[in-house]
Structure 1
Amino acid sequence: MSEQDQASGLRKWASLQRQQQQAEGTVDVAAAEHVPEDTAPLLAPALATVEEPAAMTPPKPKIPLIVVGLPGSGAPQVNKVKARLGQWSRLGRSWAGDPDDWDIRIAMAETSDLAQLRDQYSRWALWISSDADTFAGMFGTLRQLHERGGPRRLLALHEPHLPRQGLLDNLRQAADYYLNMELLVLAR
């Protein structure tokens, strides 16, 4: 509302007050006085409240997580990883947080710039499937990471029904013994 509109509104209100008092037979001098234009800005803050827009908080930066061991890349693979992080979050793992807080990046162990990626990103994971040939495939991926200067520490991302005994422990022990790599396997 502009200042002129506010002054005009005040004049109309004063005029209405005068008319009501004249109808009753008494005239209040103060109410009958004309409201000067220069006092309207002094009254404006009390009469009109201006709402300021809510402060916009900048978006929270996403946490990059480089995942190796997935066949191919794209949205379906990223969704697999996010689903697993969501399961851990629901199990009370506070570090997993909201799966949408993660910037999931799929990398191939064969990539030539693996050492540069390792220097750039600190969080790495190995996706472990549960098919019959998993051990050989995953150990081969770990060996390529080792040979190409990849990370020495990775989180084991695996399907929830995969038991720790057997495949997961064997991979963890082989990575440690043969490649001097740490594969972090989380217990349920």
Structure 2
Amino acid sequence: MSGQDQAAGLRKWADLQRQQRDAEEDPSGVESDEAAPAAAVTAEEAAAHAQEAMAPTIAAAAEPATVTPPRPKRPLVVVGLPHAGAAQVDKVRGRLGQWSALGRQWAGDPQDWEIQVVMADSPSLAALTKERSRWALWISSDAEAFATMYRVLRQLRDHGGPRQLLALHEPHLPRQGLLDNLRDAAAHYLDIELLLLAR
């Protein structure tokens, strides 16, 4: 038997099976007691069935995945560092991480902060003060810290900077001495409120 004759014979057999199945079905929608013999499925029918079965999967793959947007970062402008740059931003993040590790809720995740290091004598300081509400003063703990930080605060006042800043210092730095003196001098002479972190 040639391949063409065999294919024609299979098609004829499949058509007969389909006709027999259609004849046995009850028009009222009730199935007959005898189950119809399973009919062979042609390659075309199999392909059509496979395409129907995969349609939901293909549609789901075509839909864009739902991505939760990243949390907005909290802006923090920091003054008192010797210069701007990635290393300085990392120092601030590290300090926030120290406070967060001590259980300070306000510090949160250091990566959630958008840290901007600004020089106290920047010409854009007044405009930036209107745009940003969170400011911090980086307080070092060296021997010249009081004079350096007071000079930074005075420059802030002279250039239209903020009137309230968070004192960002090492967690172990005692309040008595440098921190209290700097806070009192800022309030009395410069009309700037320096917020000291609770221990």
TM-score, structure 1 as length reference? 0.76
Ranges in structure 1 where 5+ consecutive residues have no aligned partner = 1-14, 19-27
Equivalences for residues 173-188 of structure 1 within 5 A: 173-188=184-199
Superposed CA deviations along residues 34-53 of structure 1, whole A, max 9, x for unmatched, are 4784xx569935x6652546
Q: RMSD across aligned C-alpha pairs, in angstroms?
A: 2.7
Q: Tell me what 1:160 maps to.
A: 171
Q: State the Cα distance separating 1:178 from its structure 2 match.
A: 1.0
* Cα distance between partner residues in 2 of 1:95 and 1:116: 26
| Alpha carbons 1:128, 1:134 under 8 Å: kept | yes
Q: State the Cα distance separating 1:32 from its structure 2 match.
A: 1.7
| Alpha carbons 1:164, 1:187 under 8 Å: kept | no
* Cα distance between partner residues in 2 of 1:154 and 1:31: 82
* Cα distance between partner residues in 2 of 1:70 and 1:43: 64
Inter-CA distance 169–33: structure 2 relative to 1 (3 Å threshold) = same
Q: Tell me what 2:38 maps to.
A: 31
Report the residue type matching 2:52 in the other structure.
A
Q: Tell me what 1:148 maps to.
A: 159
Q: State the Cα distance separating 1:60 from its structure 2 match.
A: 2.0
Ranges in structure 2 where 5+ consecutive residues have no aligned partner = 1-13, 18-34
Equivalences for residues 2-151 of structure 1 within 5 A: 29-32=36-39, 34=41, 37=45, 40=48, 44-45=52-53, 50=57, 51-52=60-61, 54-151=65-162
Report the residue type matching 2:105 in the other structure.
S
In the alignment of these two chains, the number of paired residues is 162
Superposed CA deviations along residues 100-137 of structure 1, whole A, max 9, x for unmatched, are 11111110011112110100111100000001111011
Report the residue type matching 1:148 in the other structure.
H
* Cα distance between partner residues in 2 of 1:159 and 1:71: 17
User: Which is greater in Rg?
Assistant: 2
Percent identical across equivalent pairs? 61
TM-score, structure 2 as length reference? 0.72
Superposed CA deviations along residues 42-90 of structure 1, whole A, max 9, x for unmatched, are 9935x66525464112222221111000011211111110011111112
Q: Tell me what 1:8 maps to.
A: none
Report the residue type matching 1:178 in the other structure.
Y
Query: SS of 2:189's equivalent?
Result: helix
Q: State the Cα distance separating 1:139 from its structure 2 match.
A: 0.6
